[in-house]
Amino acid sequence: MFQNNPLLTQLKKNLHAKTPRVEGIVKSTERGFGFLEVDVQKSYFIPPKNMKKVMHGDKIIALLKTEQDREIVEPEKLIEPFLNRFVGKIEKKDNRLLIIPDYPFLKDFIICHPSKDCTDIFQSGDWAIAQLKKHKLKGDHIFYAELTEKIIEKDNPLIPWWVTLARYNLDRKEPLSEENDLVLKECNNRKDLTDLDFITIDNANTKDIDDALFITEKNNGEISLIVAIADPTAYIKNGSKLDLIASQRAFTNYLPGFNVPMLPRNLSEDICSLHPNKHRPVLACNITVLKDGSIAYDTIYFFLAWIKSKSKLSYDHVSDWIEKSGTWTPPTKSIEQQILILHRLCLLRIKWRKMNAVLFKDSVEYRFHLSEYGNIIDIIIEKRRIAHKIIEEAMIIANLSAANFLSRNLGFGVYNIHTGFDLVNAEHAVAFLKSYNLNFSVAEITTLKGFCHLRRVLNSLSNNYIDSRIRRFQSFGDFSTVPGPHFALGFSEYATWTSPIRKYSDMINHRLLKSIIKKEKPIRPNEDIKLKISEQKRRNRMSERDVSDWLYTIFLQKKEHRNQKFNAEITDISRSGIRARLIENGAHVFIPGPLIHSVREELNFNQDVGKVFINGIMHYKISDLIQVSLSDIRLDTRSIIAKPEF
């Protein structure tokens, strides 16, 4: 009698309409249940039966209900699936293909099948790219994906690199070149500087050498520096096929032990590279540095030239010689003189920047030593030595000169900018500083001069905790097509042109600088290219981080590390634990709450101040040095769990 009853149907509609709904992101747990995260402060429980309809990371609308005096949600509508295009590992069971997505919180296999355009044969353990086609919250009975491409076979030592590049949809191989790409197209009106003793200083194994230097000192104490930069735009025409490929890649992608070049290797590592005793076309800049360390901007000029580098020097050899250690000596008296004057210029500029801009703190880098098959032999600590600083200061001078030259002559280019603090974060920074009796105003630190003063004060304090908190309030670097300040460097404008083999933005600036030299109409870069470069830079950084995490988990699984104690620096405090970096090798580890203190209610992870409290007493803070041992290494999620040694 109730079947097809219009009153009952209307009643159901009314009840359905009155049921409250919430929108949020699904967060799963290892125990089958999950939460719908509505915002930072609010989340709702999703029972295990309801979690079967969704995946971790899905953005959904859910019905808000009450069961046994507890608010729960029931997924109703999919707004945006977490999975779309994804990478995963294949499992073959009873001639059926399954794929498990390569994400930490996605543990369930998804039924899959090759797409009609995919001809690859898949076996268990292979890695593949897939596209999610069916979702239970869309009314489908199952989750289902189509395989579009095999990435790599099981047990291949290159899995960490290939899978990571596929995840971020980044190129895995160098671009192919055509015969016309290797032909020099700009050879007229170049100054012949082949007699000058240009030198290059790089890592011993560097092949894509893009900068050479020649320096002289005048009787009045001024220093004249010629910076010569490799000239790939003399081979690659604007708008050509290879130019479009370079614009899409935007950068050479440097990964641990491996790189994917922006340009074909026969260009970047041979024809354009400034190898010793090779006749090479360059874009050059002549710069005068005054006795006080400042740049004489009114005398800067750019020109096209031919050079022949007289020697390829290494950072370690040059540093050893300057520091009077080791057995290496410069090959000639002339090259010895080049190194000595470059060293004087470096010290002069460091002194100038310390007083007038922002000076970098010395940092430590970690390099994976890999076999030719991709196996990890060791992890090497590399410190910035004096030769690194010599080249760094020379390149900063060159880039400041380019920014000034472009601004005066065109008013546009590709500039590196950094805006310091936005207004809200400036207020937070000022309040934080005041708690440490450091008195600054918002008006002061939002100016370039005031920001530089703040950074110099913090450098003199050498308090890593204060420094880390202030950096959290700072904005991120960006690109701009018009001049703008770079607060983090302390300069009113900054535009790079010294790595055109590796960075497309530098190729753009090369063409603009050449247009001024040749008195031709420049092609103004549009906003789209700026956004594309920024996005590609972000993806390259993430790929480098992910490959490193993968290699660290492989490396630290070795027996000798199981009971080893490591010194670590706390880098972040999250809602559920501590993140730290192992000082011995650079690996990032996570210390979960239960390994810090057994009673969760007594623990307080305060992200706002970067501190951990137990029963109201501060026990850990960002920048603290602690000792840890490894508790668990999870290769499937590339995570390293550590515990503090009390």
First to last CA, the chain: 72
Q: Is 571 exposed, middle or buried (0-12, 13-18, 19+ CB in 10 A)?
A: middle
Residue with tokens 């015969």: 179
Catalytic residue among 210, 231, 243, 320: 210
Q: Measured between alpha carbons, how far is 36 from 23 in angstroms, rounded to an integer? A: 8
Is 210 a residue of the active site? yes
Is 624 a residue of the active site? no
Q: Measured between alpha carbons, how far is 102 from 16 in angstroms, rounded to an integer? A: 37
At residue 10, the 3 state secondary structure works out as: helix
Is 171 a residue of the active site? no
**DSSP annotation of 374:** S
Instruction: Tell me which H or E stretch contains 367.
Output: strand 364-370
Task: List Cα–Cα distances, 186 to 175, 231, 502, in angstroms.
Answer: 22, 10, 20
Q: Measured between alpha carbons, how far is 464 from 459 in angstroms, rounded to an integer? A: 9
Is 195 a residue of the active site? no
Q: Measured between alpha carbons, how far is 75 from 52 in angstroms, rounded to an integer? A: 10
Catalytic residue among 202, 320, 506, 546: 202
Catalytic residue among 58, 181, 211, 320: 211
| Token pair belonging to 39 | 């915002």
DSSP secondary structure, 16-84, as one string: HHHS-EEEEEEEE-TTS-EEEE-SSS-EEEE-HHHHTT--TT-EEEEEEEEETTEEEEEEEEEEE-S-S
Q: Measured between alpha carbons, how far is 53 from 183 in angstroms, rounded to an integer? A: 58
Contact 114, 122 (CB under 8 A): yes
DSSP secondary structure, 350-366, as one string: HHHHHHHS-PPPP-EEE
545: CB partners within 8 A, 6+ apart: none
- 352-373: b (≥16 Cβ within 10 Å) or e: bbeebbbbeeeeeebebebeee
Q: Measured between alpha carbons, how far is 527 from 412 in angstroms, rounded to an integer? A: 12
Catalytic residue among 167, 455, 502, 581: 502
62-65 long-range contacts, Cβ below 8 Å, gap at least 24?
62/21, 62/22, 62/23, 62/24, 62/36, 63/19, 63/20, 63/21, 64/19, 64/20, 64/21, 64/22, 65/19
Catalytic residue among 58, 102, 208, 546: 208
Q: Measured between alpha carbons, how far is 87 from 73 in angstroms, rounded to an integer? A: 30
Active-site residue set: 202, 208, 210-211, 315, 502
